[in-house]
Amino acid sequence: MATRNLSEYDTTRVPDASNMIFGIVVAEWNPEITGALLDGCVSTLEKHGALTENIHVKRVPGSFELIYGAHQMTLNDGYDAVIILGSVIRGETPHFDYICQGVTAGIARLNATSSIPVVFGLLTTNDKQQALDRAGGKLGNKGDECAVVAIKMAKF
């Protein structure tokens, strides 16, 4: 369980993002959740100066495809950082474990091999309510947190 509000951070420690270009890859699966993550992410990037035209959003069918989408963005589009946003909710089969492990390993590999940061914004929750709590609910919005991380890492 999150121990803090994902949307709370020290705004004085976030660099200006007005000259940065961001790629966001968002999964279509669980759209109520991923849409809220995307809204939080974009609004936080803009809050810190990112221009609307410098925030490029691409959609992929599900969370596993986030790896491919992020990889393509690291290769082709001149981004300062790429953010992945998705939501996997535990079900009755081991599918949850395979998807979570696969996406985690794939994004870790991209971070180790690409020249730009890829920010991990995949919610992995036991139920829908936990995901909603982290997508603008009582625990804030993971999309906000990912935007701040992307800005900071782009300036690293």
Active site residues: 95
CA 83 to chain centre: 4
Query: Residue 70, Cβ neighbours under 10 Å: how many?
Result: 29
Report how far residue 152's alpha carbon sits from residue 81's, in angstroms, rounded to the nearest whole number: 10
Report how far residue 103's alpha carbon sits from residue 2's, in angstroms, rounded to the nearest whole number: 20
First-residue to last-residue Cα distance in the chain? 29
User: Which two tokens mark 48?
Assistant: 């810190």
Class of residue 13 by CB neighbours under 10 A (exposed 0-12, middle 13-18, buried 19+): exposed
Helices (H), 48-87: 66-76
Query: Residue 37, Cβ neighbours under 10 Å: how many?
Result: 31
